[in-house]
Structure 1
Amino acid sequence: MVTLACQRSAVVRRQFGRIGGSRAVMACALGLGFALTGCMVGPKYKVPSAPIAERWRAAQDARISGDPADPKEWWKVFNDPVLDSLIQTAHKQNLTLQIAALRIVQARLRNSLVWLMELSPIPVGPSASYMHSKHSTTVKPDVSVTWPNPPPPLAGILKSQLPQISVSPEIDKYSGDISILWKPDIWGGTRRRIQATAAMVAAEFASYDDALVALVAEVASTYVRIRAYDEQLGVLRENIALQEKLLKGAQDRFGKNQASEADVHLATVLLRDTQAKVPLVEMALHEAENALCVLLGKAPGDIRTELGAARPIPIAPAKVAVGVPADLLRRRPDVRRAEREAAAACAQIGIARAKLYPSLDLFAMFGVASSFTGQLFDSASHTSAYGGSVSWNPLLYPATIEMIRDADAQYQGKILAYQESVLQAAREAEDAAARFTKAHDRLQALTDGVAASKRAAEVSTAKYQDGSVAFPMPLESLRYLESEQSQMIEARGSVALNLIALYKALGGGWEIRQGQDLLSDENRQQMRSRTDWKTFLGPRDLKTKEK
C-alpha cells in the first residue's frame, strides 16, 4: 500500500510564535477536495428494456376492454360497504403491512447514514482536558529550552543572546479542541452508494405496495368466500327442508302400502348426505372468519359484528377495463421493485470501481491550550493542525477487478429478474382475464341449469305424491337441484374471485396509501418510548410518505 501524507500544525503561539496563513492553506485544501468530487466512475443507469405486448390477448373478448383502467379502489365496483370498511381496517391494522412500513424506515435510515458518515465532513469531538503534573524534587527536573528565531537581519545582532531556559516542577495545562475528518468522494464511490441506498428506499416502498395489493386482494377474496359459505349454508338448509318433505311423503306412502321400503331408505340416504355437508361448510366458514381476523390485525374470534347480517356474494360487473400491458410497468409494485433493485445493483459497480483509484483523506484540528484559564481564549493560545494523505494499494488491483466483475454479474442478474417480473405480470393478468370471462360463461350455464332443476323437482315431487311417477324421479331431481345450486354458488363466487385476481394482477389498490401515515400510532408510540426519534432525518414524525 502506498501512502503519501503531509501535515502542518500551529501550537500555542505564546510559546512558539505566530504561524500565519494556516486558514488560507486549509481552505485551499478543502477547496481542492470539493473540486475533485465531480467525477463518478461506473456505468450510468438506464431502465432496462422489457418485453411487453401492445395489447391484451384477452381483450378479444368484449367483456375485457382495452380502455384506460383506474384500479385505485377497484373493490368499490362491488358496491359493498362492508367490504369497503374491512379493507380500510386492514390497511390500518394489518401487521404484515406494518412490518413492511418499518423496512421503509430502515432503508431511509441507511440512506441517511451514508450522507452523514461518508459524504460530509465528520466532526470528531469537541474535547476538553485539564492536566496537572508535578516533578519529583529529588530527580533532575525537565528543562525546556526556547531558542530565539529572529528575522535574518537581526541574526548577527542577537548572535550572542543566550537561549531562554526554564524549569517547571509543576505544570497546569488547560486545553480544548475540535477535529474534523473528511474523505472527499473523488471517484464517486460514496455518491454511488447514496444512489444504491436511495434506490433501495424506493424498492422498499414498492415492497410495501406489493404487500398492500396482496392484502387488499386477500381481504376481498376472504370476504367473498365467507359470503359464499353463508349462501351455501342457506341453500343446504332449503334442500334439507325439501328432502325432509320427500322423506315424509315416502314414509306416508309406505305406510299405505303405496311405496316400497326402499323408497324410504333412499330418501333417508339423500337427506343424511345433504345434512353431512353442513358441518363441512360451517368448518370452512369458521376458518375463513379466523383468516379475516388475522388480516385485520385481530385475534381470531367472532367477527360477525363487523360482517353484519348475511349478504349475497358481491356481484362482479360484466365488463372490465384493463388498459394496455405497458401500464403494468408503472403500476405493478413487484415490477417497480425489480427495476429499483436493478438500479441499486448498477450503482454497486461504481462503488467497486472506485476502489481501483487512490483515496484522499483530509483532517483539521482547531483548539486552545494554556497553563492559565484566564488566557485560555486569548488569540495567542489558539492551536491548530491540518493535513491530508493519499493512499492507494495496487496489490489489491486483481481482487478489485474480481469485485467489479461480481457486481456486474449481479447487475445483469437483476436486469433479467426485472424482465422476468414483467413477463410474469403479463401472464398473470392474461390468465386472470381469461378465467374471469370463462367463469362468467360457466355461471350463465349453471344459472339456466338451476332454473330447470327447480322446475323438475317441483313437478316430480308433486307427481310422486299423487302416484303419477315412481320414486327415483323426485329423488334424482332433488339430488340434481342440490348439486346444481351448490355449483352455481361456487361459480358466482368464482366470478368475483377471478375479478379480484384480475385487479391484483393489474397491480391495483396500493394507491390508497398515498398521503397516509404508513406506521400506526401504536407503533410510533412504542418506538418513541424507547428511542428519541425527533431528529430522524427521514420523514418527520416517523411518517413514511413517499417523496
Structure 2
Amino acid sequence: MASFRFASPALLLLLAGCVSGPDHVPPEMPLPAKFSEGGAKNIGDVSTAAWWTAYRDTRLNGLVVDGLNENLTVQQALERINAAAGGVTVAGAGSLPSLLVGASHTTSGSMGERRTASGATNISGGEANVSWLLDLFGQYRRSKESAQASLDAAYSSADVAKLTYLQDLVNSYIDLRFFQERLALSRANLKSRKETYQLTQFQLEAGAASRLDVVQAEGLVQSTQAEIPGLETNIRVAAHHIATLLGQPAGSLLGELLKAAPQPIFRGGIASGIPADLIRNRPDIRVAERNLAAATANIGVAISQLYPTITLSGSISPTYVKPAGFSGGSLTTWSFGPTLTLPIFDGGQLRANVDIAKSDAKTQYLAWKQTVLTAVEEVENALSAVRRDAQTVEALRAQVKTTQETLELSTASYKDGASSLLDVLDAQRQVSLAQASLAASIQQMAKDYVSLNVAIGGGYNPGAPRTTAPPKAS
C-alpha cells in the first residue's frame, strides 16, 4: 500500500487536471438545403467580396475604402478588441503565482530635555510575499476560456460594425443620387410646364383658352417649384451623412457630392449561397456563438466555486537596525504554508450562481438560434426582392415612354384646338408620376442588392485573400 506521503502529490496532480462544468460544443440547428429562390451550391468566403463595385461607380468605391479606415463606429469596435484582449490576460493571471516585493527605511529619535538617548536609530527592511492559488477545479481556466470567447466576439463585433457601415454608406449614396435624379426630373418638368403655361397665355390672348386654363397651368408650375427646395434639402442631408460616416465634418464633401451622377444600378450576377454558409459568413452569428461559448465557460467558473481552494503562500522579511553610536544588527523572519478554504454555509448563494450561469447559457443559445433564423429570413427577403426588381424597373420604363408619348399627342392636339388643356395637364402629371416611380424603383433595386450582400455577410474585409473561391452566381 502506497504511503500518503507519495499519494498526496499524485492526488494533487489529478485534481489539478480537473475542469468543472461543461465543455462548449458549437451549436447546430436544422436548416434547409437551399434558399427558396437561391442555388444549391455554397458560396464560400464572401468577407472579401467587394460587391459595391458591381455599381461601377468609382466615387462610391473610393468612399467605401476611405470609410472603412475612418468610420468612428468601426474604430470604436476595433478599440473594444484591445479591452477584450486585456480581459484575457486578467482572467488568466489568477492561476499564476504572484510575487510582491517591498522595501522601507525609517529614521527615528527623540528630542527634549528628558530624552534618555542621543542620536537616531535607522531601520532598513524589505519584504517579499509570494502566493499561488492552485486551480484544482479549473476556475481560472474556465475564466480564461470565457475571456477568450469574449475576445473572439469583439473581433466579430468589429466585422458587424463594418457591415453596418457599408450598408449605411452605400444606401446613403444611393439616396443621394436618387434625390439628384428627382431634382433633375423636377427641373425638366418645371421647364415643360412653364412652356405649357406660356402657351396657355397665348391661347387666352387669341381667345382659344379661358382664364381657368391659365390658372390651372400656373398652379401646376407652382406645385413643381414647391418640390425643388425639399429635394435640394434631401440631397444635402444625404451628403452630410456620408461625410459623417467618413469621420469628417458634415459639410466637407458637399462640393464633391453635389456634382450630379447617374443613379447606381448593379451589373452582375446574384449569388446567395446556401443557409449553412451564413453560420460561417455572418459576423453577428459568430458573435452570438462566441457569447454562448463565454456563457458556457462561466458555468464552470460558478461550479468550481462550490469546491475548496488551496493557496500556497510564503513571505520573507529581512530587517537591519542601526542605532546611533552602536553597531547594527539584522533580523530575518519568514513563513510558508498552505491555506485551505472550504465553502460550507452561504445561504445557497453559490448554487444559485450556478443556476444563473446555466440560465444565461440557455439564453445565449436561444439568442444564437434567433440570430440564425433572422439571417435566413433576411436573405430570403432580399432574394425575393432582387429577383423581381428588374421586372418592376422594366415595366416602369415602358410606362414612362407611354406617358411621354401621351403628353406629346395631347399637347399637339391642344395646339390644334382638338382637346382641352386639362388633357395636357393630366398627361404632364402622369409623366411626372411615372418618372418619379421609375427613379424610386431604381433606388429600391440598388438598395435590395445592398441588403442581399449584407444579409449573406459579404464585403467587410475587402482586399484580404479569399479563402474559398466563390461559385458562379445562381
TM-score by length of 2: 0.87
Separation in structure 2 between the aligned mates of residue 400 and residue 308 of structure 1, nearest angstrom: 63
Separation in structure 1 between the aligned mates of residue 101 and residue 373 of structure 2, nearest angstrom: 54
Q: Which secondary structure does the structure 1 equivalent of 2:134 belong to?
A: coil
Q: Which secondary structure does the structure 1 equivalent of 2:38 belong to?
A: helix
CA spacing shift, 1:365–1:439, aligned 2, 3 Å: same
Separation in structure 1 between the aligned mates of residue 9 and residue 243 of structure 2, nearest angstrom: 60
Separation in structure 2 between the aligned mates of residue 270 and residue 289 of structure 1, nearest angstrom: 30
Match in the other structure for 1:199: 149
Match of 2:185 among 235, 241, 246: 235
Give how far 1:302 is off.
Answer: 4.7
Match in the other structure for 1:149: none
Instruction: Check whether the contact 2:47–2:281 (CA below 8 A) recurs between aligned residues.
Output: no
Match of 2:52 among 69, 75, 92: 75
Instruction: Check whether the contact 2:22–2:300 (CA below 8 A) recurs between aligned residues.
Output: yes
Give the gaps of 5 or more residues in structure 1: 1-24, 141-168, 516-547
Letter aligned with residue 122 of structure 1? S
Separation in structure 2 between the aligned mates of residue 332 and residue 132 of structure 1, nearest angstrom: 69
CA spacing shift, 1:29–1:123, aligned 2, 3 Å: farther
Letter aligned with residue 120 of structure 1? L
Letter aligned with residue 65 of structure 2? Q
CA spacing shift, 1:115–1:126, aligned 2, 3 Å: farther
Give how far 1:274 is off.
Answer: 1.6
Letter aligned with residue 451 of structure 2? A
Match in the other structure for 1:295: 245
Letter aligned with residue 243 of structure 1? R
Instruction: Check whether the contact 2:299–2:357 (CA below 8 A) recurs between aligned residues.
Output: yes
Q: Which secondary structure does the structure 2 equivalent of 1:53 belong to?
A: coil
Q: What count of residue pairs does the alignment treat as equivalent?
A: 451
Separation in structure 1 between the aligned mates of residue 399 and residue 294 of structure 2, nearest angstrom: 57
Give how far 1:201 is off.
Answer: 1.0
CA spacing shift, 1:65–1:490, aligned 2, 3 Å: farther
Most deviating of 91-100 and 79-88? 91-100
Give how far 1:197 is off.
Answer: 0.9
Match in the other structure for 2:84: 107
Match in the other structure for 1:89: 66
Match in the other structure for 1:55: 34
Give the gaps of 5 or more residues in structure 2: 466-474
Query: Based on CA coordinates, which of the two structures has the bigger radius of gyration?
Result: 1
Separation in structure 2 between the aligned mates of residue 35 and residue 313 of structure 1, nearest angstrom: 69
Letter aligned with residue 47 of structure 1? P
Matched, 1:449 2:399: yes
Letter aligned with residue 109 of structure 1? G
Matched, 1:219 2:169: yes
Give how far 1:445 is off.
Answer: 0.8
CA spacing shift, 1:362–1:440, aligned 2, 3 Å: same
Most deviating of 494-503 and 296-305? 296-305
Give how far 1:315 is off.
Answer: 1.1
Match of 1:122 among 74, 95, 98: 98
Give how far 1:104 is off.
Answer: 1.6
Match in the other structure for 2:213: 263
Give how far 1:89 is off.
Answer: 2.3
Give how far 1:133 is off.
Answer: 8.0
Most deviating of 66-75 and 203-212? 66-75
Give how far 1:112 is off.
Answer: 1.3
Q: Which secondary structure does the structure 2 equivalent of 1:181 belong to?
A: strand
Letter aligned with residue 334 of structure 1? D
Give how far 1:111 is off.
Answer: 1.6
Q: Which secondary structure does the structure 2 equivalent of 1:479 belong to?
A: helix
Match in the other structure for 1:498: 448
Separation in structure 2 between the aligned mates of residue 220 and residue 263 of structure 1, nearest angstrom: 45
Match of 1:409 among 359, 384, 389: 359
Cα displacement string for residues 229-281 of structure 1 (whole angstroms, at most 9, x for unaligned residues) = 11111111111111111111111111111222222122112222222111221
Match in the other structure for 1:175: 125
Cα displacement string for residues 502-532 of structure 1 (whole angstroms, at most 9, x for unaligned residues) = 11111122224979xxxxxxxxxxxxxxxxx
Percent identity, please.
26
CA spacing shift, 1:131–1:104, aligned 2, 3 Å: same
Match in the other structure for 1:280: 230
Letter aligned with residue 124 of structure 1? L
Match of 2:350 among 392, 400, 403: 400
Q: Which secondary structure does the structure 1 equivalent of 2:265 belong to?
A: coil
Q: Which secondary structure does the structure 1 equivalent of 2:337 belong to?
A: strand
Separation in structure 2 between the aligned mates of residue 131 and residue 32 of structure 1, nearest angstrom: 51
> What is the 5 A alignment of 1:12-27?
none
Match in the other structure for 2:425: 475
Instruction: Check whether the contact 1:204–1:337 (CA below 8 A) recurs between aligned residues.
Output: yes
CA spacing shift, 1:36–1:445, aligned 2, 3 Å: same
Match in the other structure for 1:346: 296
Separation in structure 2 between the aligned mates of residue 395 and residue 489 of structure 1, nearest angstrom: 72
Separation in structure 2 between the aligned mates of residue 470 and residue 133 of structure 1, nearest angstrom: 118
CA spacing shift, 1:265–1:308, aligned 2, 3 Å: closer
Instruction: Check whether the contact 2:239–2:257 (CA below 8 A) recurs between aligned residues.
Output: no
RMSD between aligned residues: 3.2
Separation in structure 2 between the aligned mates of residue 228 and residue 47 of structure 1, nearest angstrom: 44
Separation in structure 1 between the aligned mates of residue 236 and residue 120 of structure 2, nearest angstrom: 86
Give how far 1:51 is off.
Answer: 3.6
Separation in structure 1 between the aligned mates of residue 105 and residue 26 of structure 2, nearest angstrom: 55
TM-score by length of 1: 0.76
Q: Which secondary structure does the structure 2 equivalent of 1:123 belong to?
A: strand
Most deviating of 74-83 and 92-101? 92-101
Q: Which secondary structure does the structure 1 equivalent of 2:345 belong to?
A: helix
